[in-house]
Structure 1
Amino acid sequence: MANDTIPSLPTERPAGRPFDPPAGLAELGPLSRLQYPDGHLGWLATSHALVREVLADPRFSVRPEIRHVPIPGTPGSDRPAPPGIFTAMDAPEHTRYRRLLTGQFTVRRMRRLTEQVQAITTEHLDAMARHGSPADLVTELAQPVPAQVICELLGVPYADRARFQADALKLFRLGTAQEEMIAAYTAVQGFIAELVPAKRAQPGDDLLSGLTATDLTDEELINIGFVLLGAGLDTTANMLALGTYALLTHPDQLALLRSDPGLADHAVEELLRYLSVIPFTVRTALEDVELDGRTIKAGESITLSVPAANRDSAHFADPDTLDLLRATGGHVAFGHGIHQCLGQQLARVELQVALPALVTRFPTLRLAAEPQDIAMRTDMIIYGVHALPVAWEV
């Protein structure tokens, strides 16, 4: 192997610095050779400019059947994505789904969902206050808020929400046994499969109902529902919990947000950049591509490090400092290009509502455990905390 070949993707966080990218990434050049677990010799990009360039270039594919994954044990695929799994498709298939879904994220629906996010957040903050100090922020707020928002988005009937949320959360919980995971996956898929024809028969004012008026098949709608669930639940839940953890360990920044809740939009963008809960994404070259003076050959996969790109000093001044007043334009926490997160505005709303509401409702909020005792999700794709014990004065 060449001298600049990395034997594996760095994943271990530096000791005592849980918010920083995996150790070793900052020392790498913008483009390095990377040895993949399956023996494939591909690439790793760490610079902000290169990550955005690859994500915007249609010569790089997201298709799973030609992609190599950089983490051992991560499920791969040798088949094209099933109908409706638009996040694993290139244009023009991806374009068709994206256009239909974008049409559902209307200003009116986003305004209504914002009001619902506010009501849901208040409901869970009230429940947290009744629970009393201390409490686990993950189970009290970070998980249930996005879970209920997904129910609103998909139009899950109120009578079924508790069961649906319970099964959905099992899919992202580390302690879930394999048999229970399979049962939860089957239950969620089965539930959405029942929901789709019900929406066709009696449409409501929700996203799935809106999509039943298109030419999408039931199979496509079921898979789209599952994609939206996966994309919108675990990522936002971990941003809520990890964002709170970061604020509680940066008291000057916490004080800024608490004194000025109107700073929420800036705060959320900076937390998205600073924390980067999605560690990487992968693309595969469809043809030979010149990149940073190197040739990425057709068939070679390139791993794009989101945390490294968002901490690139060539784009962000003093990138390792959390600064809620920073102008964070161009961060890639939601990706870039045609696959940029479809629900990013909804995720922003959830974070912009929940974080300032939490820190103002509980002005004495603090960690209820030593930082070294907080279990980080270093063993899962989406980064965050398994639990976040917090306390406050009553």
Structure 2
Amino acid sequence: MGYASILSSIGLQEKMIRMFVPGNHLEALVECMITLASVRENLFSGTTRQQYNEFLSKFGGMICEAAENEKMAVAAGRYLDRMTRTRSVKAQYHLTQAAKLIERISENYVEHKNSLYYLLTTFARWSHRLYECGEEKGNVIEILKEVSKSVIEGAFNNSEIIEEEDIEGIMEGFGEITRVNLMFTVEEMTKHIERVTKEIEHIIEMKGSLQRIQKECERLSIGIGLISIIINHQVINGTNETQEQLDIKLMKIGIEIINKEMSIIKNIPFGYGVKEIEINILRFFESIRNVFLNESISRTTEKYIIEILEIQNLNDLIIAIMNKIIFNLHYFIDIHCESIIKQSLLIIEKYSRKEKTSKMLLEYGLLDKILDESLVCLLFFILFIYYLFIINIYY
């Protein structure tokens, strides 16, 4: 009996489904199912292929529905990841349950970071397969929209996830999912960030605890971190003019977060929440450099940036970024936060690698302004970076 006849056996399907029980059998069963999902699709034909793929997809939905802990959620995520990579399955049998699983684990992302990665990877793959969804396309788009909403809400409610060193890797799939309905994503991000900033203003006005302010700063850090992930995927996935304008609106939201943060840290002691938002601000600056200030930027994009940010030209954007860096050098040297100082200097060095931005830095005397801060212990390092600018411009 060949692969096709064995794997399409109704009796075998029933046995495989009945084998699914939590506990010691789970890992062995999932590994077995991953192997079955990896069998070359061209070994089947016609109705047999359709029935087999339907069976695999239904199993994916079942394991998502039954996942009660991280071990089971990871198993579900790994299986869906393999199945959607190797099989031309339909979304209807597993995607809804996978979305419900994402919503459940959003209650504690720190505990469920591994399953979150696998599930987001699966949804990201479906965001690239919309063209083959046929009648399911509308439903898949709605599911991806709900997943984006769940992930955003979960991230703001689980700000501790920002402690993960590989947060960008964990949330990689999220950046791809958001491109499907970017308008909705911008609306959700705006809603959550406005809520956090209003809460911070209320706490400060009522002279609330510094611990509460630091907690809200962690949420702001999540906000600007997600913005960076989203706009970075403009480069990966390409974009149209509407999406480009939405990305610039997200950049504007990020800049507004920075302005809010600069007013906050002048009035509260330095703490964990402030440190994390500073780290994500610097990552945000790197995203701006890669996406909006690269050498191939079009005149249309430049026009959108100027209109949406309400600035005179791109020079104003560069100046705003460097003024924040200068503020960092002045502020964080006093509290001896070497990590922020070092990363701020690295941003200057990275901007020097782009001809467009390095010329602006020299033209507007921003390097001289940095040197005038009289940071004695860092003077040698800054002079070295200044030397790099000159090399980039003239050689």
Taking structure 2 as the reference length, what is the TM-score of the superposition?
Answer: 0.24
Taking structure 1 as the reference length, what is the TM-score of the superposition?
Answer: 0.24
Which structure shows the higher strand fraction? 1
Greater Cα radius of gyration, structure 1 or 2: 2
Which structure shows the higher helix fraction? 2
